[in-house]
Amino acid sequence: MNKHTVLVTGGAGFIGSHACVELLQAGYGVVVVDNLVNSKAEALSRVERITGKTLPFYQADIRDKPALTEIFAKESIATVMHFAGLKAVGESCEQPLNYYHNNVYGTLVLLEAMRDANVKQMVFSSSATVYQPSATGEYSEDFPLGAINPYGRSKVIIEDILRDVSAVDKIKQNGAPWKIALLRYFNPIGAHECGMIGEDPNGIPNNLMPYVLQVAIGKLRQLSVFGNDYPTPDGTGIRDYIHVVDLVKGHIKAIEAIESDKFKAGGCHAYNLGTGKGYSVLDIVNTFEKVTGRKVNYQFAPRRTGDLAESFANPERAARELDWVAEKNLDDMITDAWNWQVKNPQGYVD
């Protein structure tokens, strides 16, 4: 017997495909909408092979209101997990209009289609980039917001919209209130342990782990470590890496919370999803070499503008209110990421 059905926007992407596996295995029905701007349909075939279940896939843009209206009319959706979005910080500085149009306008259209279909439960992919830079590197959910690039600002604007949307219904009490979980991810890496799904970036990767993988497998020559003069123990930047499977388990916990008394009054609640532990770039390189036995060729390069010395979550609220903690360690993250890379050296081939 299926639990209710979840519409997963961006379900063919890195995190979305892992969420589909976790949802299907937990007994939810899953419907995917994705325009494949940064993913391949093959990821969804793999999800079906891993789970032995089928999932309807609509290749559509979330800015296409008639397409969304049709999906809500055809499928009996109770909750939306909203991953669809563009996510490269550097690219967002080059193409701010594209980022705001895709991420902010796309979310507005999705919310209108949800309102029209009377679907009012959402789990939203937010990001640690919504926070103002903190002097200590640690972020709790009540730390002031103030993103420093267009990508991060698109997430802050969406969070503001979601807070406003959920506030209106609470006041008017006309029908069921909106129930929204804002999940602020730190640095998701790793892959499903079977090695059939993982992160498949287009072109040169923007993030550290896919870059390290491609250097180790010989696709890229050398890793540039941006900055070795930060005020951190080894001088390189520190981030809170989290296994993607732990991350998506946090989404299942968020749906369970939304459907429990905790969200009875509705509203919009933010949760950090991170481990609470930071690792430096050199920690990643050294652990990678230890776990895989492969050498990672690297050189130091100047700091990149906008990069912070240190960023890690205070994950206590998610532990307390969602009953969720990350369970996998850095060795697990690297083992699983490497397994995916070795089994799929060219990523997904359609």
Which residues are the active-site residues?
151
* CA 152/CA 154 separation, integer angstroms: 5
Nearer to ligand NAD, 188 or 276 (CB): 188
- CA distances from residue 110 to 30, 169, 336 in whole angstroms, order as listed: 17, 17, 33
3-state secondary structure of 180: strand
State which of residues 6, 7, 16, 130 lies at the interface with ligand NAD (CB under 6 A).
Answer: 16
Closer residue to ligand NAD, CB minimum distance, 37 or 148: 37
In the window 183-202, what residues touch ligand NAD (CB under 6 A)? 185, 187-188
Task: Please say which residue, 37 or 161, places its beta carbon nearer to ligand NAD.
Answer: 37
Q: How far is the CB of 33 from ligand NAD (least distance, A)?
A: 6
- Of residues 42, 48, 61, 259, which one binds ligand NAD by CB under 6 A? 61
One of 14, 100, 131, 348 touching ligand NAD (CB under 6 A)? 14
The backbone region for 158, taken as left when phi is positive above 0, alpha when psi lies in -120 to 50, beta otherwise, is alpha
Residue with tokens 């596996």: 21
CB 89 to ligand NAD: min, Å = 10
Reading the block at residue 146, the tokens are: 């103030």
Longest dimension (CA), the chain: 61
Give min distance, CB of 126 to ligand NAD, in A. 7
Binding piece for ligand NAD, criterion CB under 6 A, among 7-15, 89-97, 256-264, 328-336: 7-15
**187 versus 335: smaller Cβ distance to ligand NAD:** 187
Q: Which two tokens stand for residue 56?
A: 């309807």
Q: Return the range that interacts with ligand NAD (CB under 6 A); candidates 35-43, 71-79, 212-220, 229-237.
A: 35-43
Shortest Cβ contact with ligand NAD: which residue?
13
Stretch that binds ligand NAD, among 12-20, 166-174, 275-283, 325-333 (CB under 6 A): 12-20
Q: Which residues, 6 or more positions from 246, have their beta carbon under 8 angstroms from its beta carbon?
A: 273, 275, 326, 327, 328
Would you give the binding string for ligand NAD spanning residues 108-127, x where CB under 6 A is met?
-----------------x-x
Closest approach, Cβ 125 to ligand NAD, in A, equals 3
- Write out the E strands in 147-209: 179-185, 187-189
Q: Do 268 and 214 contact (CB within 8 A), yes or no?
A: no
Q: DSSP labels for 74-129? A: HS-EEEEEE--S---HHHHHH-HHHHIIIIIIHHHHHHHHHHHHT--EEEEEEEGG
Per CB under 6 A, contacts with ligand NAD among 125-164 are 125, 127
Sole binder of ligand NAD in the list 7, 8, 10, 284 (CB under 6 A): 10
| Of 309, 329, 326, residue with least CA distance to 318 | 326
For 82, list phi and psi in degrees, rounded to 5: -105, 95
Q: Closest approach of Cβ 59 to ligand NAD, in Å?
A: 9
Residue 1 vs 349, nearer CB to ligand NAD:
349
Q: Which residues contact 334 (CB under 8 A, 6 or more apart)?
A: 189, 190, 284, 287, 288, 291, 292
Residue 102 contacts ligand NAD per CB under 6 A: yes
**From its phi and psi, is residue 205 left (phi > 0), alpha (psi between -120 and 50) or beta?**
beta
**Which residues in this chain contact ligand NAD in the complex, by CB under 6 A?**
10, 12-16, 34-39, 61-63, 83-87, 102, 106, 125, 127, 185, 187-188
